[in-house]
Amino acid sequence: MLPRWRPDNAVGGCCGGGGCCGGGGGGDVIVDAGDDEGAAGGGAVASDMPFRGRGRGCGFLSAVRRVFACCDREPAAADAGLAFSERAPAVGWPQLHLLPKLRLLRLTLVSEPLLAFLAGVDQWDFDTFVLAELTDGRPLSVLAFVLLKSTGVIAALKLNESKVVRFLVAIEDGYGSHPYHGRTHAADVLHCIHVIATRGGLLRAMRSSSPNRIPSSRSTLPVSLPEPEPPTSCIDALHMLGMYMAAAVHDYDHRGVTNDFLVLDEDPLALLYSGASPLENHHVAAAFALLREPANDFTASFRRPVRDWLRDHVVAMVLATDMRQHLTLLAQFEASAAPDSAAHAGAPLVWKMALKCADLGHLAHDYELHRKWVCLLEEEMFRQGDLEKARGYSVSPLMDRLGEGVTKGQPGFFKAVALPLFGAMAGVLPGMRPMLARVSRNYGRWTSDPG
């Protein structure tokens, strides 16, 4: 049996200086020879890699317009979405046909504030509620496309832009209107993992996955990276693509209730997955079903082993967001992290942990913004409690709106879950220390003012 393909054993022309990122001949490690799908999209942006230093504003504007122009001009994307939505309702596709011109017009009018806002996308502070307003309700697809384009991932992997956009828009429309688990949360997680990867040092750790090159002493490492890091090869870009995809789809078609509720309610998802992480399994399975639609499949040009690796990578990251796995994953991470821990920083476990941190990324926001997210989560949980009462079930802890909600349970959650999680990550990735400090600060606020 042949060894499974992994980016770190894809040596040779691609990441060994062969120049595949610049459009040279090494890209056959990723892309099937003779398939020009990728080149069609990548070629259009090959000269536009404005991660920094070049006119990033222009890249942002064109990226944002690309998302909305696609909604306007390409009904095939909507058709694909409708076909899927028949199997998984709660998708607002028809709206795309009613509003695109208005959206385009509004985007033109507000492009300067939007560009000014997006200029801060590499910083820890980033309010995706504001982004949702500035993009007229398209925070996820706009942010995802902006990141994929401006970091050079699209160019490096020669992705077909139209397919990327169709996929992202379809994913965004698969997020329901739940108070917390909606598209704005997905955008928030996407932004957070972007900053963890760049400013937090995750990409650097991935590149240095050799034990000889990974720092092994926590105390001697720099506190943070001075600048975000762009991808340096198509292998970097593939990791980044997997990371961005995992964040974007990680709560796709969320039902606004917990796995436990789905199991208790004998929901079809719980039956389908035999009660094992039904939500997370559904998020990622349904997302890849969307990707398989020919109009959306920007990975069609990848060699099969690369596509398999990408799916495995995304699936593993998304499944790790089930909080039922939290203690097991944390224990594994800590066991591999100390004291030679960092030698494992390039392993999949650290990517899972990164998405877990991003999923709880609002814990590191400014207190008022963080509190806003917690209140939305509380309302969503109260709605589940209402549903449980209506079905005659016992109301789950913190879900009875006549009692105390999660806003009252925050100190305990920080102490038992958040601080150990962010502490473990900051131990391996020193660039995460600012995030840990922010989480610690909010813990202090909750304990002094439990609200």
Query: Least separation, in Å, of the C-beta of 359 and Zn ion?
Result: 4
Among 161, 280, 359, 378, binds Zn ion (CB under 5 A): 359
CA–CA gap between residue 28 and residue 393 (Å, rounded): 56
Q: Binding string to Zn ion for residues 385 to 414, with x set by CB under 5 A, is what?
A: ------------------------------
Query: Least separation, in Å, of the C-beta of 182 and Zn ion?
Result: 10
Residue whose structure tokens are 């995706």: 128
User: Phi and psi at residue 403, in whole multiples of 5°?
Assistant: -120, -150
Nearer to Zn ion, 181 or 303 (CB): 181
Query: Least separation, in Å, of the C-beta of 250 and Zn ion?
Result: 5
For the purposes of burial, counting CB atoms within 10 Å of the CB of 400, is it exposed (0-12), middle (13-18) or buried (19 or more)? middle
Query: Least separation, in Å, of the C-beta of 185 and Zn ion?
Result: 6
Query: Least separation, in Å, of the C-beta of 321 and Zn ion?
Result: 6
Residues in the chain: 451
Q: Select the span of 39-47, 196-204, 251-259, 280-288 touching Zn ion (CB under 5 A).
A: 251-259
Q: Binding string to Zn ion for residues 204 to 243, with x set by CB under 5 A, is what?
A: ----------------------------------------
Cα-based distances in Å from 264 to 122, 383, 385: 42, 16, 13
251 is an interface residue for Zn ion by CB under 5 A: yes
Q: Select the span of 26-34, 344-352, 355-363, 414-422 touching Zn ion (CB under 5 A).
A: 355-363
For the purposes of burial, counting CB atoms within 10 Å of the CB of 153, is it exposed (0-12), middle (13-18) or buried (19 or more)? buried
Query: Least separation, in Å, of the C-beta of 201 and Zn ion?
Result: 23
Tokens of 399: 């879900």
Tokens of 147: 């990141």
Query: Least separation, in Å, of the C-beta of 355 and Zn ion?
Result: 9
Nearer to Zn ion, 51 or 180 (CB): 180
Nearer to Zn ion, 173 or 251 (CB): 251
Q: Select the span of 92-100, 155-163, 209-217, 359-367 touching Zn ion (CB under 5 A).
A: 359-367
CA–CA gap between residue 440 and residue 75 (Å, rounded): 47
Pick left, alpha or beta for residue 183 (phi over 0 → left; psi -120 to 50 → alpha; otherwise beta): alpha
**Interface with Zn ion: number of residues (CB under 5 A):** 2
**Residue 163 CA neighbour count, 13 Å, CB half:** 22
**Would you tell me which residues interact with Zn ion (CB under 5 A)?**
251, 359
